[in-house]
Amino acid sequence: MKRILFSLFLFFTFVSLRAHPLNTSNIEIYLNKPQATLSLRFYIFNLKPLLMLQGDPTEAIVIKHKSEVLHYIQKNIRIKNGADRCRLTPLLFRIEEEIALQSEFQIVCREAIENLSINYSLFFEVDKTQEGVMQLLTPPNDEKLFIFSPHQKEYHLKLDAPLKELDFQNFIIEGIWHIWEGIDHILFLLMLLLPSVLLHNSYRETLLEVLKVVTAFTLSHSLTLLLSMFGVLNPPEQIIETLIALSVLFTALNNIYPFISYRREWLIAFLFGFIHGFGFANAMHQMQLKSSNFVSAVFGFNFGVEIGQVVIVALVLPLLFTLSTKKIYQSLILPALSLVVAAIALFWAIKRAFGI
C-alpha cells in the first residue's frame, strides 16, 4: 500500500504541472477577401524546443531564425482545396511587445476554394496541452470558430454547406477535454466523492447523494462562468488559480478532519464551485473569442464541462462504492488519498500564489 501511495504522489506531482493546460495560438483565415489569407499569433516561448534553447527565446533570436520558424509553421499548418494542397506564402513576420509572434500568409490554391481541409499541429509534438483557436471568415461576412488540439487536428469543410452548429459542437468537445485535462478540477471532484460513499448502504441512495453534490457544483460554477464570459465580473487569474488549489486543499483536509459534516459536501461543492467557474472562464478568455456565435460557444463549453464531469463520476463512483464496503476504506484508503491530494494542492497553492 505504501508503494502504491508513493507512486500516486509522484504521478500527481507530475501531472500537477498541467493543472490548467492552455497554451493557445490564434488563427484567422480570411476567405471573404479578394485574396485568401491566414493570420497566426502565438507566444514566442513556445519556440524554445524548436530552436533547442536553454532559456526562453528573445525577439532577436526569433528574427535570426525566421526562415526556420516559417518553415515549421508551413509544415504544421496544411490547407487543402479538395485534393490539392494550397501554398502558404509569407506576408508578415513581426514580434509584438517582445513576447508574441504575429505572422500572415497568403493562401495560394490552384482553383477557387470550395472544399476546405485544414490540418493544424503547431507545437503538438512537444506539448500535449497546446490548442489552436481558429476563426474562419467566409463570404459575405460569416464567422465560425474551430479548435485544434492533439485530439482534433483536422477539419473538413464544404463552404456551401451550413455551419450553424459547429461552434456549439466544437466547444462541447473543448469543455469535455478541459475538465479531463484539468487535474485540479478532477481532484476536487474526487475529494468530494470519497466521503459521499460512506453515508448510505445502498448504491441508489449514494447516487442520489452524489447527484446533489454534482448539481450544487454545476449551479455555482455555471453562474460564475457566465458572469465572467459576459464581462460582469473578472477576478485576476492568479488569485482564482490559487483559490482553486486551496479549494482542493480544504476539501482534502476536510476528509481527514471533518470541519464540515460529510452530509454537507454539497455545500462545499456549491461554495467552491463559484471559484472553479472563474477557472473555466479563464480557459475560455485565453482563446480570445471573437465569433459572432459567442453565446453558442460559451454555452457549448459549459455543457461540455458538465458532460466531462458526469463521465468522471460514472467511472469513479462504482469503484469507490465497492471499496467503501471494506473496513480499510475509512481507516486507510480515504485518509491516505486525501493526504496525498492535500500535499499536491498545497504545492499548487504556493506555486500559483508566488508565481513560481
| Residues counted in the chain | 356
All structural domains of the chain with their residue ranges? 2-19+182-353, 24-164
Cell numbers linked to 99: 513576447
Longest pairwise C-alpha distance within the chain: 72
> Exposed (0-12), middle (13-18) or buried (19+): which is 234, by Cβ within 10 Å?
middle
Q: Which residues pair with 144 in a beta bridge?
A: 136
d(CA 154, CA 6): 39
What's the confidence (pLDDT) of residue 131? Answer: 83
pLDDT band at 12; cut points 50, 70, 90: very low
**CATH code of domain 2-19+182-353:** 1.20.1250
Q: Is the pLDDT of residue 287 over 90?
A: no
Looking up cell 499569433, which residue turns up? 41
Task: Read off the pLDDT of residues 58-73 as tens digits, 9 standing for 90 and up.
Answer: 999 999 999 999 999 9
Q: Decide: 120 and 74 in contact? Cβ < 8 Å.
A: no
What strands lie across the sheet with 115-120, from one edge to the other?
A: 84-85, 77-81, 115-120, 154-158
What's the confidence (pLDDT) of residue 139? Answer: 73
Task: Read off the pLDDT of residues 228-286 as tens digits, 9 standing for 90 and up.
Answer: 888 888 888 889 889 999 999 999 999 999 988 888 889 999 999 899 888 888 777 76
Lowest mean pLDDT among 14-28, 73-87, 104-118, 321-335: 14-28
d(CA 120, CA 110): 21
Q: Is the pLDDT of residue 162 over 60?
A: no
Flag whether the pTM goes above 0.75: no
Task: Read off the pLDDT of residues 21-55 as tens digits, 9 standing for 90 and up.
Answer: 447 888 999 887 888 999 999 989 999 998 988 88
